[in-house]
Structure 1
Amino acid sequence: MSRSVLVTGGNRGIGLAIARSLAGAGDQVAVTYRSGEPPAELAGLGILAVKCDITDPEQVERAYKEIEEAHGPVQVLVANAGVTRDQLLLRMSEEDFTSVVDTNLTGTFRVVKRASRGMLRSRTGRIVLISSVVGLLGSAGQANYAASKAGLVGFARSIARELGSRGITCNVVAPGFVDTDMTRALSDEQRDAIMGQVPLGRYADAGEIASAVRFLASDEAAYITGAVIPVDGGLGMGH
């Protein structure tokens, strides 16, 4: 059965790979994007692109109404939208910290809260939050990002306990280093240093993250909730 799916930040990178994967499985997929124009390929895939800054509650409400009119209440939510503002602690401004937390953590709260309305009514739903290995390991220069991504784990496990009796699961996928435009911009020296920490010795493909999300959103994962699934080549094992 085709489900109504929302992937926040689904216009590029990991989010776009997730949107493609779920659309390929037959779901009706919508994605949010914050700025610019969405990729032209989305329309060809039948994916609805909705402009929405998840730090703005009014934009979140408008986006959900547009999606509900087109596809019905959201049955699968993948909270992927996130930002970075890397800086060493003593140089990190209040705005650097709060803006990252407001998007990555508080923004996720907003979209999960709104999606849960319809899920509670239908007594079923799948929520998948995209965290990061950095939220488990920590990373110098990323105290804001790591804090926001670690916060998603506690948030997800609380939601899993709160909504589980209504047939709603909430899980976390924690990617490691993924081959995206952001990591391609790193120098060869930086890329080599990262690879030296990864037991599998390579970056992930965005499609490998999407496969984990697709599983958690499926009927096969109906008895998995509150889990953190690392897709990191072994980088964060033991955390």
Structure 2
Amino acid sequence: MADHSIKGKTVLIAGGAKNLGGLLAADLALHGAKAVAIHYNSASTAPDAEQTVAAIKLAGAKAVAFQADLTTAGAVEKLFADTIAAIGNPDIAINTVGKVLKKPFVEISEAEYDEMTAVNSKSAFFFLKEAGRHVNDNGKIVTLVTSLLGAFTPFYAAYAGTKAPVEHFTRAASKEFGERGISVTAIGPGPMDTPFFYPAEGADAQAYHKTAAALSAFTKTGLTDIDDIVPFIRFLVSDGWWMTGQTILVNGGYTTK
């Protein structure tokens, strides 16, 4: 029977330098991963990546970090190649990369649409492709999506719309990779209390989102706390391996107008 524990496993996390990705990288190291590779997009995030690498090493795992813009297939291929050269083929591959745009439908430009598609859909597609090629048998693959795939609201056409294809990518990949014992899932948090949330939302919208979940009153800010998402992802890449081909919305009962 396959070993589904995290202990001794090799991990790759795209968008793993800070916020949810950074917390997850350190958490998996604390739970026994032997090596963790993290990716980050821009040079401005390098200090965060260094801190996360240090946290991973402190937990007793090997750590490496790679900078890349993952909006081309070649860049995703290189990320996996660099990871494999540094720490070996991943047992666990997690993609937390995403970009938010809150804007009226009729004001979204072609350039904005193309950028959102590249970040949210294209990079996810090619991450799954490379994961399917390189993740070890009985491995785990997880992509971060959004709870707006289960609840709809104005002004997020480009964001939720370009995350939506990942649901089908996940289903298709689970069927194709399943013969090798690989599980493939997507996880959709509610609006998270991270620096990505606040610039996109005005005061009224912030106030609404902080009360929109059934369990809002029991979190620090009313928003989804990244500390509450990490255990779900940890479960999906370990004992939760039997869950595959699914999008799981972890949002405290979040609904929208």
Which ranges of 4 or more aligned residues in structure 1 deviate by more than 6 Å? none
Over aligned residues, Cα RMSD in angstroms? Answer: 1.8
Of 34-43 and 148-157, deviating more is 34-43
Aligned counterparts of 2:114 and 2:152: Cα–Cα separation in 1: 18
Q: Does 1:208 align with 2:214?
A: no
State the distance in 2 between where 1:183 and 1:34 align. Answer: 18
Give 1:236 shift: 4.6
Tell me the residue number matched to 1:23.
Answer: 29
Q: Secondary structure at the match of 2:142?
A: strand
Which one is further off, 75-84 or 59-68? 59-68
Matches within 5 A, 1:36-51: 36=43, 37-39=46-48, 40-44=50-54, 45-46=56-57, 47-51=63-67
1:87 Cα offset (Å): 1.6
| Offset at residue 188 of structure 1 (A) | 4.5
Unaligned segments of structure 2, at least 5 residues: 1-6, 58-62, 217-221
Aligned-residue offset at 1:50: 0.5
3-state SS of the aligned residue for 1:181? coil
Q: Which one-letter code corresponds to 1:189 in the other structure?
A: D
Among 30, 39, 43, the residue aligned to 1:32 = 39
The aligned counterpart of 1:80 is 96
Q: Distance in 1 between matches of 2:65 and 2:47?
A: 7
Query: Is the contact made by 1:89 and 1:143 (CA closer than 8 Å) also made in structure 2?
Result: yes
8 Å contact 1:132–1:149 — kept in the other structure?
Answer: yes
The residue correspondences of 1:94-133 to structure 2 (distance < 5 A) are 94-119=110-135, 122-133=136-147
Question: Counterparts of 1:212-231 in structure 2 under 5 Å?
Answer: 212-218=232-238, 220-231=239-250
SS in 2 for 1:222: helix
The offset of 1:217, in angstroms, is 0.2
Aligned-pair CA distance for 1:172: 1.2
Residue 144 of structure 1, aligned match among 142, 155, 158:
158
SS at match of 2:42: coil
Encode CA deviations 1:139-162: one digit per residue, 9 max, x unaligned.
Answer: 311111111222111110111112
For the residues of structure 2 that align with 1:188 and 1:97, how far apart are their CA atoms?
A: 26
Q: Are positions 1:154 and 2:164 aligned together?
A: no
Closer, same or farther: CA 161–236 of 1 in aligned 2, 3 Å:
farther
Asked if structure 2 preserves the Cα contact closer than 8 Å seen for 1:34 and 1:51, the reply is: yes
Pick from 209, 230, 234: which aligns with 2:253?
Answer: 234
Is contact 1:125-1:169 (8 Å) kept? Answer: yes
Residue pair 1:104, 1:148 contacting (<8 A) in 2 also: yes
**Percent of aligned pairs with the same residue?**
26
Length-normalised TM-score, structure 2: 0.85
Aligned-partner Cα distance in 1 for 2:131–2:68: 15
Partners of 1:206 and 1:104 in 2: CA distance? 20
- Per the TM alignment, residue 184 of structure 1 is displaced from its structure 2 partner at its CA by 4.4
CA distance in 1, matches of 2:172, 2:76: 22
**CA positional deviation for 1:182:** 2.6
> Which residue, 20, 24, 41 being the options, matches 1:14?
20
* CA displacement, residues 46-101 of structure 1 (integer Å, 9 cap, x when unaligned): 33210111112222222222211121012111111111232211110111112111
